Amino acid sequence: MNHDESGLGLPDGELRLSQHHPGWARAFGQEAARLRPLLPPGSELEHIGSTAVPGLIAKPVLDLAAMLPGVPAIAVFETALPALGYRFRDDAGVSGGRVWLHESGGTRTHILHLVTRGDPQWGRWLTLRDLLLQSARARKQYARAKAEATSQARSRQEYTQLKTTTIQRLLSGE
């Protein structure tokens, strides 16, 4: 799917939020169809982050998370990712697993997070996504935090840090 159809794409180094695009769910379905055949048995793949929540502003980059049965399964799965246009970005550890980016011409379109079964981050991603899907109040709080973080941050890392307090409050039920 190209940028025009999906509304996805953020040039490297740029930090910007977009209104929700109806093509994001379709883009997840298409990317999931490419990734699922390569996942080992017992794996799960989910659309996470703000692009998974209709009506919520988001960076126009699709967040996907895969939970694999163990470290050896991640290693095997990762060997297939470069052929699909992904490149390794980082090992974010407990805050995001192993991170792979899909980009074209310096424009990021997808971020794939890989964790193993039992990693608590998996549950946090799904809990936050589901809360945002179900609660207009949570969406409003999170949208406000995202807008403030975008206006203050000088990097993607700083943007993420600035949202952390709001995410923690939402996950704790405040």
User: Using 50, 70 and 90 to split pLDDT, how confident is the model at 47?
Assistant: very high
User: Using 50, 70 and 90 to split pLDDT, how confident is the model at 5?
Assistant: confident
pLDDT in tens, 16-33: 999 999 999 999 999 999
Delineate the domains of the chain, giving CATH numbers in brackets. 3-172 (3.30.460.10)
Burial of residue 69 (CB within 10 Å: 0-12, 13-18, 19+) is middle
User: Using 50, 70 and 90 to split pLDDT, how confident is the model at 136?
Assistant: very high
pLDDT higher for 160 or 47?
47
Q: How many residues does the chain have?
A: 174
Q: Is pLDDT at 174 greater than 70 in this prediction?
A: yes
Residue 66: the pLDDT is 97
Q: How far apart are CA 65 and CA 57, in angstroms?
A: 19
Q: How far apart are CA 44 and CA 153, in angstroms?
A: 32
Tokens of 14: 């740029």
Rounded (to 5) percent helix, strand, coil in the chain: 50, 20, 25
Residue 2: the pLDDT is 41
